[in-house]
Structure 1
Amino acid sequence: MEGDSKYAHVKTRRASAALIGAFWSAINAVVPVLLNSIVFIVSSRYLLPHDFGVIALALSLVSFASAIAPAALGEALIQQYSVRRSHLDTVFWVCLCSAAIIYGVLIILSPILASAVNQPEVTKFLPLLGLKLMFDLAAVVPNALVARAMSFHLIALRTVVATLVSSILCISLLLNGYGIWALAISQLATSIASCIGVFWGAKWWPSFSFGLNELKDLRKYGFFASANRFIQFMNLDQIIIGSLIGAAPLGIFNFAKRLFQMLNDVIAGALTSVSHALLSSLQNESEKVRDAFLITTFASSIVSFPAFIGLALVVADVIPLVFGAQWIDAISPARWFCLIGLMSCIGIIQASLINSQGKSNWWFYYQLFRQVLTISTVLILFNKGVNLIVMVMALQTVIFWPITLVMVSRIINLKVTTYFRQFLEPFLASAIMSIAVLLIAYCMQEYSQQIRLLAEVTVGGLSYCISIFYLSKDKLLGVIKNVLDNKKNRQLNA
């Protein structure tokens, strides 16, 4: 059966839409990260690792509950070639009813959960943070509609407004002495504002209809996408660390992880939704998929290499100077998370390709294997400290990364040498940058942290920009020419 044309994938000027989408997705990632960074810095000055650990544990329990919900049906809507209005209504009501049931169970079990994780304080935060489920799941369908239409400016606007609201609220509450509650309330505010914004942007409202046939249409992709989402969101590593080691070590773990996530959100966030929507729209045009995949891989590596390598080089100055001496224990874990972040930005493009081409079952089995490995690592090493746990997790990420490379090469018949060629110039430019930063650090040991950090960032950034332009001039000019040509074509067709 044919789908409704108003919900169809973009058919024309998809490369142009993807490039524009990457810009808006970058705005969608950069502005919230800047605002969240301000909140992160202010809250780290006001709160202790134990406070961060308690909220992280409560959020992990809510995230685990959220992982059970069928929110990945939204990804199935994006991937589905033909979509009808009845699909949208069915998915909406399934998600909303699931959220209500899960929230009720979470509230009833909150005392038992708090006792199980050895943190009684968690009980008072679960009723508030659990409300996130209702708003996050209500937004699944309009989010999918915006992504199908590649209207990434609407996603950017929604996210910026939601983050601005929650940031102002969080800082205001912190300054007025609300302490740990400021973090909890701001988390809920983000979900509420995002939900309102995406419904406004999608210009869609559900009707009271439901169909089992519609669920059957989505069940194959939706099942594995839901399973992938469960693995991604269950956060068992944080729950185990908080339960077995304590709230303060979890606070250190979560702090180091947030540093990497802020960078990861900017880089991967700018490409994930774009690459998934673009590759999904090309699923019946296999000859174009390979080129799109290689372009997005190069775009990701050209930014992720200097960002994460650079952060690893200067993090020893950044943490005590910006966040405070109470977070010094997070320096070493943060460096290992930088390695995880680098691999994540590469892997996120692989995941978009695999899922967009209807191979979400492959990604599920890989993610399941990795999650079992991570949980086993935490259970075995929990008494050895957070640093060793993160180090082993980072090394596992590198060791098992070739598995996804084999998946990708099978889907698009890609030579391994062609794939690795995308990383050559960013790697060489990052190596030059690293040498420059290390020389500055060595020569300026007697200077203050502020001056040394400023010099490291300035020299490192300049050396990378000059190096990458020299090494990748033809590629970069080709991308710029493509953008300008697409802009000219849009003006002529207007």
Structure 2
Amino acid sequence: MCKDKISTEESSLKEKAINGVKWTFVDQVGSLGISFIVGIVLARLLEPSEYGLIGMVTIFTAIATVFTDSGFGQAMVRKSDLTEEDKLTAFWFSSSMGLFIYILLFFSAPYVAIFYKESQLTSILRVTSIPILFSGLLTIPNIIFTREINFKVITKISISRAIISGCVGIYMAIMGYGVWALIVQNLISYLIAIILFNYFCRWKIKIIFSKTSFHYLWGFGSKMLISSLLNTIYNNLYQIVIGKFYSAADLGQYQRGQSYSGLFSNTLTQVVQRVSFPTLSKIQNDAERLKYGYQKIIKMSMLVSCLGSMALAAMAKPLIVVLIGEKWMQAADYLQIISLGALLYPAHAINLNVLTVMGRSDLFLKIEIIKKIIGIFPIVIGIFFGIKVMLWGGVISSFLCFAVNAHESKKLINYSFEEQFRDIIPFIVISLFIAAFVYCISLLSISLGLVIILQSVLFFSLSYCYFQLTKNVEFLELKKIIINSLRK
């Protein structure tokens, strides 16, 4: 009887997870696809230096977001008996923190402009920071839907905001507003998200702040806050260094390359992370099932990530020139390098998810500190030896940090670095060989459009044939999930 119950629960959980993956994938592909098209149009209308100006203030808005969340979001998703008091306590904390941070940024903006020697940054930072004031209205409804593994609503909202804000951004760029087209596009996106999330969620805001709820949320979230802060600062250090020691145009080129590199790895990471955390949190007390679940997720996600990232690296130059023009050729060089390190992003995220699911925010913080110490060296080197050297150092540090992440997973679910490496190395090797072969097509004296078509067809065909002929378990299961989803 007990086994039947577990089997039924596991089947229900798997169904929810697959449904969640389906809708999250639609979300990512839909909203990112729209953003990708909008980005192509905007990149042709705007200059690299205008993207660079946005990149210079990104770290400040990113850090502000970390503080307004303070790890409460993950604590709420993980808590099995979330109450109304928990939600309202998190809302009022996030709103109060948002007001405080915005005031701080408003008065600090002139000093940011002085640091980068760009006078426009004063008004840019003050305007781009406005959404921070309304952070609670966006994050809490989002968490509620995430807890319920209800990504259908989130998908509708994401696609809606991408379409409307994209149209506004393109219109303003055509009218000659320059960098402000990007700023207003972002503001419109936040406004639509806030309106739609609260419309569909229909939760009631009350003046309730529970000390008991706060102690629980802060107890778990405070360590996540420090970890997220370290991670956010580190992820934006490249932009700070390039913006400070190079030019706004150089930063714009880096940002374009970095954004395209995440088309596969970041999309996949968000899909896996968003679905796996609430799903596997429900079996956090069953170590055997937890290890099996994580092993399957890592192998399936790394199969897709390796192929996607390597394909992007092989096709980078003709893709960039055809899509956004020769003025972005420098971004293509950066894209090739960044893609090699980006293929491990899903593995990083999944290993960190293990710690979060098991409630080990202390280990999460420890790992983040170690990883940032490793990752700081390429950035320092880049100041003296150039942006490309810095990016190659980032690829090496990505692999080293994967080892650090996986080391802690062994302690919690007995899934060691050696096991993980054996699981994913075949995907890395075969995708590298296919990418190297496909890259050779770009050396032919034919039109770039034809190069892209031939590279795409060949990469897909070789990958499909290899995994189909070798009867790779992960490939066959992914294929089955996709076919079943399409039929439904």
TM-score by length of 1: 0.90
Distance 1:329 1:208 in 2: 52
Q: How do 1:182-331 residues align onto structure 2 when only pairs under 5 Å count?
A: 182-234=181-233, 235-331=236-332
The one-letter code matched in structure 2 to 1:249 is D
Aligned to 1:333: 334
> Aligned pairs, how many?
478
Q: 1:476 to 1:401 in 2, by over 3 A?
A: closer
* Structure 1 gaps, min length 5: 1-9
The answer on whether the counterparts of 1:77 and 1:83 sit within 8 Å (CA) in structure 2 is yes
Distance 1:263 1:477 in 2: 20
The answer on whether the counterparts of 2:344 and 2:398 sit within 8 Å (CA) in structure 1 is yes
Distance 1:184 1:485 in 2: 40
Cα deviation 1:399-418 (Å, max 9, x = unaligned): 23211111112111125554
Shift of 1:441: 3.8
Cα deviation 1:127-163 (Å, max 9, x = unaligned): 2101121233432221111111110112211211111
Distance 2:331 2:369 in 1: 28
Distance 1:138 1:284 in 2: 33
The answer on whether the counterparts of 2:371 and 2:404 sit within 8 Å (CA) in structure 1 is no
Q: 1:239 to 1:434 in 2, by over 3 A?
A: closer
Shift of 1:212: 1.5
Distance 1:174 1:486 in 2: 38
Aligned to 1:460: 459
Shift of 1:436: 3.9
Q: Confirm or deny that 1:46 pairs with 2:45.
A: yes
Shift of 1:12: 7.2
* Structure 2 gaps, min length 5: 1-8
Cα deviation 1:292-342 (Å, max 9, x = unaligned): 101211221121111100111111211222211111122222112102210
SS of 1:337 mapped into structure 2: helix
The one-letter code matched in structure 1 to 2:393 is V
Shift of 1:122: 0.7
Bigger mean CA offset, 289-298 vs 264-273: 264-273
Shift of 1:231: 2.1
Aligned to 1:87: 86
The one-letter code matched in structure 2 to 1:203 is R
Shift of 1:171: 1.1
Q: Confirm or deny that 1:157 pairs with 2:145.
A: no
Aligned to 2:421: 420
Q: Confirm or deny that 1:120 pairs with 2:123.
A: no
Q: How do 1:342-381 residues align onto structure 2 when only pairs under 5 Å count?
A: 342-381=343-382
The answer on whether the counterparts of 1:289 and 1:412 sit within 8 Å (CA) in structure 2 is yes
Aligned to 2:104: 105
Distance 1:256 1:62 in 2: 21
Distance 2:417 2:51 in 1: 42
Distance 1:259 1:478 in 2: 27
The one-letter code matched in structure 2 to 1:246 is S
Shift of 1:65: 2.9
The one-letter code matched in structure 2 to 1:104 is I
Shift of 1:23: 0.6
SS of 1:120 mapped into structure 2: coil
Q: Confirm or deny that 1:406 pairs with 2:391.
A: no
The answer on whether the counterparts of 1:432 and 1:463 sit within 8 Å (CA) in structure 2 is no
Distance 1:338 1:476 in 2: 22
Distance 2:11 2:139 in 1: 25
Q: 1:303 to 1:12 in 2, by over 3 A?
A: closer
Bigger mean CA offset, 361-370 vs 180-189: 361-370
Aligned to 1:388: 389
- Calculate percent identity across the aligned residue pairs: 19
SS of 1:210 mapped into structure 2: coil
Distance 1:486 1:51 in 2: 41
The answer on whether the counterparts of 1:377 and 1:393 sit within 8 Å (CA) in structure 2 is yes
Distance 1:482 1:187 in 2: 34
Distance 2:30 2:349 in 1: 21
Shift of 1:469: 2.0
